[in-house]
């Protein structure tokens, strides 16, 4: 997860999440034994600020799918036989979902839906699995089916918003985050998500309003801390941005995106040597990270060490030939000064 300058990355950046982000503990809702609000780390914390960070999908429990290889259905015991067949099948689908077996989870959700086509939890849970697989339009179809049965299903509302968010349909996504917030005004998932959507529309001050509401509930919400730091950076309030990055680092001292965000804000504040020290340390453990490499190049550019800056930009380009698509405006100006001086 991560942001800087003017770019937020979804979860294609280093598959964070993301991110950030980073698995966040932000007071998930608990509904029965279902899962709620999850695409598995869908929000990547703002880092290099592209228009792509995505908040966490809300599920009915706090257990996220792992990166384990999918398990066979035979390895997951059926729940208590006292449960109805419908509930037992749904519970088994959830177990498979948590184990990362998306194919198996969908199979069991489909079995539930064959018995009860209006099973709201199975509908939005199938949507979650499809969303995690990048099938956002298919996911939206199932969220819509869930909402047709229960227009106030907060999981379907929020997660449909996330599926729209992933497609960079930020304003449409906000309408669904707002509907979720009408039901639960203090739910940190739609609060974080709306903050991220506003951020990606470059409405930084409005984004901060929603991030502050998250932080009033959970002062250690890393996602909100980093997004606010990035928003402040984009507003030119660099010292305040550094303070929020430091708060995030107090929770997770080794988060690479927070470190990168802090380095970028330090550079913007003219504290280039401090920024350089952070990125040098980060590159020791992540020598081929294109974001660290491009941030290092930017800092070296600001220090007027142009040959070294070009070297780091070239290293970043070797990692990602499309590097210029993820650079902030400031970085792109530096890049063009070095490689395309006529622009």
* pLDDT tens digit sequence for 163-180: 999 999 999 999 999 999
| The overall pTM is greater than 0.85 | no
Give pLDDT, residue 27.
Answer: 29
Q: Which pLDDT band, with edges at 50, 70 and 90, does 183 fall under?
A: very high
Per residue in 276-315, pLDDT tens?
Answer: 999 998 899 889 999 899 999 999 999 999 999 999 999 9
Average pLDDT over residues 208-217: 98
Per residue in 5-31, pLDDT tens?
Answer: 433 333 333 333 333 332 333 323 333
Question: Largest Cα–Cα distance in the chain?
Answer: 74
196's enclosing H/E stretch is helix 188-200
* Burial status of residue 151 (CB atoms within 10 A of its CB: 0-12, 13-18, 19 or more): exposed
Give pLDDT, residue 248.
Answer: 96
Q: Residue 153 and residue 159: Cα distance in Å, rounded?
A: 10
Give pLDDT, residue 327.
Answer: 86
Q: Which of 33-47, 81-95, 318-332 has the highest mean pLDDT?
A: 318-332
Per residue in 115-143, pLDDT tens?
Answer: 999 999 999 999 999 999 999 999 999 99
Reduced to 3 states (helix: H, G, I; strand: E, B; else coil), residue 178 is helix
Per residue in 216-233, pLDDT tens?
Answer: 999 999 999 999 999 999
**Do 2-269 and 270-343 show the same overall fold?**
yes
Give pLDDT, residue 254.
Answer: 83
- Supply the mean pLDDT for the chain: 80
DSSP 121-149: HHHHHHHHHHHHTT-HHHHHHHHHHHHHH
The tokens for 57 are 């999908």
Give pLDDT, residue 240.
Answer: 98
User: 176-187 as b/e, with b when 16 or more CB fall inside 10 Å?
Assistant: bbebbbeebeeb
Q: Residue 335 and residue 341: Cα distance in Å, rounded?
A: 9
Nearest Cα residue to 180 out of 161, 203, 201, 163: 161
Nearest Cα residue to 329 out of 205, 197, 202: 202
CATH superfamily of 2-269: Tetratricopeptide repeat domain (1.25.40.10)
CA distances from 272 to 48, 166, 268, 328, 332 (A): 17, 34, 8, 17, 18
Q: Residue 319 and residue 238: Cα distance in Å, rounded?
A: 29
Which H, E and C letters describe 102-122, residue by residue?
A: HHHHHHHHHHHHHHCCCCHHH
**At residue 71, does pLDDT exceed 80?**
no
Nearest Cα residue to 55 out of 203, 216, 187: 187
Per residue in 255-275, pLDDT tens?
Answer: 888 998 999 999 999 999 999
Give pLDDT, residue 80.
Answer: 54
Are 29 and 37 a contacting pair, CB within 8 Å?
yes
CATH number of this structure's domain 270-343: 1.25.40
Q: Which pLDDT band, with edges at 50, 70 and 90, does 202 fall under?
A: very high
At CA 257, angle to CA 43 and CA 156, rounded to 5?
5
Give pLDDT, residue 79.
Answer: 52
Give pLDDT, residue 329.
Answer: 83
Q: Which pLDDT band, with edges at 50, 70 and 90, does 320 fall under?
A: very high
Q: Residue 218 and residue 299: Cα distance in Å, rounded?
A: 33
Q: Residue 263 and residue 2: Cα distance in Å, rounded?
A: 12
Average pLDDT over residues 332-341: 90
Domain segments of the chain as ranges: 2-269, 270-343
Give pLDDT, residue 244.
Answer: 97
Per residue in 33-58, pLDDT tens?
Answer: 344 444 533 443 333 333 334 455 55
In the chain, DSSP finds a helix count (H) and a strand count (E) of 15, 5
Lowest mean pLDDT: which of 120-134, 143-157, 323-337?
Answer: 323-337
Tell me the torsion sign for CA atoms 155, 159, 160, 161. positive
Q: Residue 231 and residue 4: Cα distance in Å, rounded?
A: 9
């Amino acid at each position: 997860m991560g942001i800087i300058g003017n770019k937020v990355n979804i979860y294609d950046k280093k598959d964070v999440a993301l991110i950030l982000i980073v698995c966040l503990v932000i007071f998930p809702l608990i509904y029965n034994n279902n899962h709620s609000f999850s695409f598995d780390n869908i929000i990547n914390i703002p880092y290099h600020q592209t228009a792509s960070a995505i908040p966490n999908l809300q599920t009915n429990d706090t257990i996220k799918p792992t990166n384990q290889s999918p398990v066979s259905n035979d390895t997951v015991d059926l729940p208590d036989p006292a449960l109805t067949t419908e509930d037992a099948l749904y519970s088994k689908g959830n177990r498979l979902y948590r184990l990362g077996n998306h194919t198996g989870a969908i199979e069991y959700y489909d079995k539930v839906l064959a018995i009860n086509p209006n099973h709201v939890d199975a509908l939005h849970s199938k949507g979650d699995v499809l969303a995690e697989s990048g099938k956002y339009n298919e996911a939206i179809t199932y969220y819509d089916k869930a909402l047709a049965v229960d227009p106030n299903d907060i999981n379907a509302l929020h997660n449909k918003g996330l599926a729209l968010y992933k497609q960079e349909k930020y304003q449409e996504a906000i309408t669904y985050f707002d509907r979720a917030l009408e039901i639960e005004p203090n739910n940190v998932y739609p609060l974080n998500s709306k903050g991220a959507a506003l951020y990606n529309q470059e409405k930084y001050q409005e984004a901060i309003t929603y991030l502050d509401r998250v932080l009033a509930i959970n002062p250690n919400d890393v996602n909100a801390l980093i997004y606010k730091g990035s928003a402040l950076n984009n507003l030119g309030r660099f010292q305040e941005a550094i303070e929020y990055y430091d708060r995030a680092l107090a929770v997770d001292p080794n988060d690479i995106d927070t470190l990168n965000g802090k380095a970028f804000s330090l550079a913007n504040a003219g504290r280039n040597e401090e920024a350089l020290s952070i990125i040098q340390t980060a590159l020791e453990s992540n020598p081929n990270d294109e974001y660290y490499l491009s941030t290092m190049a930017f800092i070296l550019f600001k220090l007027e060490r142009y040959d070294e800056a070009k070297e780091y930009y070239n290293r970043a380009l070797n990692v990602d030939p499309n590097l210029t698509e993820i650079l902030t405006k400031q970085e792109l100006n530096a890049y063009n000064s070095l490689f395309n001086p006529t622009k």
